[in-house]
Amino acid sequence: MNATENTAGHGIPQKESTAALALLALGVVYGDIGTSPLYAAKETFSPVHGLALTPENIMGGVSAILWTLMLVVTLKYVILILRADNRGEGGIMALLALAAAATRDRPRMRNILMTVGVFGAALFYGDAVLTPAISVLSAVEGLEVGTAALKPYVVPIASGVLIALFLIQSRGTAVVGRLFGPICVAWFFCLAASGLWNIARAPGILAAVDPRYALHFVTGHGAASFAVLGSVVLAVTGAEALYADMGHFGKRAVRLTWFWIVGPALVLNYFGQGALLISDPSAIENPFFRAFPDWALFPMVALATAATVIASQATISGAYSVTQQAIQLGYLPRMNILHTSARAMGQIYIPTVNWILLIAVVAAVIGFGSSSRLAAAYGVSVIGAMLVDTILAFFVIRYSWRYPLWLCLGATLFFATIDTTLLAAAMHKIFEGGLFPLLLAAVIFTVMVTWRRGREILLEQLRGATPLLEGFLEVLAMSPPQKVPGTAVFLTSTPEVTPNALLHSLKHYKVMHEQNVFLTVEFHDRPWVDVSERIVCTPVTPGCWRVSAHYGFMDHPDVTEALALCAPLGLNVEPMEVSYFLSREKIVPTAGGPGMALWRDVLFAAIARNSASVTDFFNIPTNRVVELGTRIEI
CATH code 1.10.10 for 3-433: no
3-state secondary structure (DSSP) of residue 506: helix
Distance CA 165, CA 146 (A): 25
Which band of pLDDT confidence, cut at 50, 70 and 90, is reported for residue 227?
A: confident
pLDDT at residue 197 in the model: 95
What is the distance between the alpha carbons of residues 141 and 53, in angstroms, rounded to a whole number?
22
Q: How far apart are CA 522 and CA 550, in angstroms?
A: 5
Domain boundaries, the chain: 3-433, 458-633
Q: Torsion over CA of 103, 105, 109 and 113, rounded to 10 degrees?
A: 40
Measured distance CA(165)–CA(31) in Å, rounded: 15
Mean pLDDT of 220-243: 82
Dihedral sign for Cα atoms in the order 11, 350, 550, 241: positive
Over residues 76-100, mean pLDDT:
83
From residue 450, how far is each of 216, 334, 453, 464, 618 by CA, in Å?
46, 14, 5, 21, 23
What whole-number distance in Å separates Cα of residue 82 and Cα of residue 77? 6
Burial 593-628 (b: 16+ CB within 10 A, else e): beebeeebbebbbebbeebbebbebbebeeebbeeb
Residue 482 burial by Cβ neighbours in a 10 Å radius (0-12, 13-18, 19+): exposed
**Residue 13, pLDDT score:** 37
Give the model's confidence band at 448: pLDDT under 50 very low, under 70 low, under 90 confident, else very high: very high
Rounded to whole angstroms, the Cα distance separating 631 from 129 reads 38
Looking at per-residue confidence, does 486 or 616 come out higher? 486
The predicted structure's pLDDT at residue 22: 75
For the chain, the first-to-last Cα distance in angstroms comes to 56
* DSSP secondary structure letter of residue 345: T
pLDDT at 548: 93
CA–CA distance, 137 with 155 (Å, rounded to integer): 7
| Nearest to 516, CA basis, from 481, 550, 551 | 481
Flag whether pLDDT at 441 surpasses 50. yes
pLDDT on residue 7? 38
pLDDT more than 90, % of the chain: 31
Mean per-residue pLDDT over the chain, rounded: 85
Residue scoring higher pLDDT (619 or 191) = 191
What whole-number distance in Å separates Cα of residue 99 and Cα of residue 391? 9
- 4 pLDDT tier (thresholds 50, 70, 90): very low
Query: For the residues 339-367, what does the mean pLDDT come to?
Result: 81
Q: Does the pLDDT at position 168 exceed 50?
A: yes
Quote the radius of gyration of the chain (alpha carbons, Å). 27
Looking at residue 590, the DSSP 8-state letter turns out to be -
> Measured between alpha carbons, how far is 52 from 74 in angstroms, rounded to an integer?
30
**How confident is the model over 114-128, as a mean pLDDT?**
88
Summarize the confidence of residues 367-378 as an average pLDDT.
83
Query: Is the confidence at residue 15, as pLDDT, over 70?
Result: no
CA distance 65 to 233: 8
Strands 544-552 and 511-524: parallel
β-sheet bridge partners, residue 524: 552
pLDDT confidence band for 10 (50 / 70 / 90) = very low
Q: What is the pLDDT of residue 587?
A: 81
Query: Which pLDDT does position 463 carry in this prediction?
Result: 74
Mean pLDDT within 423-428: 83
Contacts for 459 with CB less than 8 Å, ≥ 6 apart: 493, 494
Q: Is the pLDDT of residue 246 over 90?
A: no
Provide CB contacts within 8 A for 65, sequence distance 6+.
40, 41, 44, 232, 235, 270
Percentage above 70 pLDDT, the chain: 94
Question: CB of 250 within 8 A of CB of 85?
Answer: no
Strand, coil or helix: 633: strand
Question: Higher model confidence: residue 80 or residue 175?
Answer: 80
SS (H, E, C) 122-174: HHHHHHHHHHHHHHHHHHHCHHHHHCHHHHHHHHHHHHHHHHHHHHCHHHCCH
Which phi and psi angles does 535 have, rounded to 5°?
A: -120, 135
Per DSSP (E only), the strands in 253-296 are none
Q: Of the ranges 99-103, 230-234, 277-281, 463-467, which one carries the lowest mean pLDDT score?
A: 463-467
pLDDT band of residue 457 (cuts 50, 70, 90) is: confident
Residue 383 has pLDDT above 80, yes or no: yes
The DSSP bridge partners found for residue 549 are 521, 535
Per DSSP, which regions of 208-288 are E strands? Answer: none
Find out whether 382 and 233 touch, Cβ atoms under 8 Å. yes
Confidence tier at 488 by pLDDT (50, 70, 90): very high
Q: What pLDDT score was predicted for residue 263?
A: 94
Residues in contact with 429: Cβ distance below 8 Å, sequence separation at least 6, in sequence order: 230, 376, 377, 379, 380
- Average pLDDT for residues 489-518, to the nearest whole number? 88
Beta carbons of 81 and 392 less than 8 angstroms apart: no
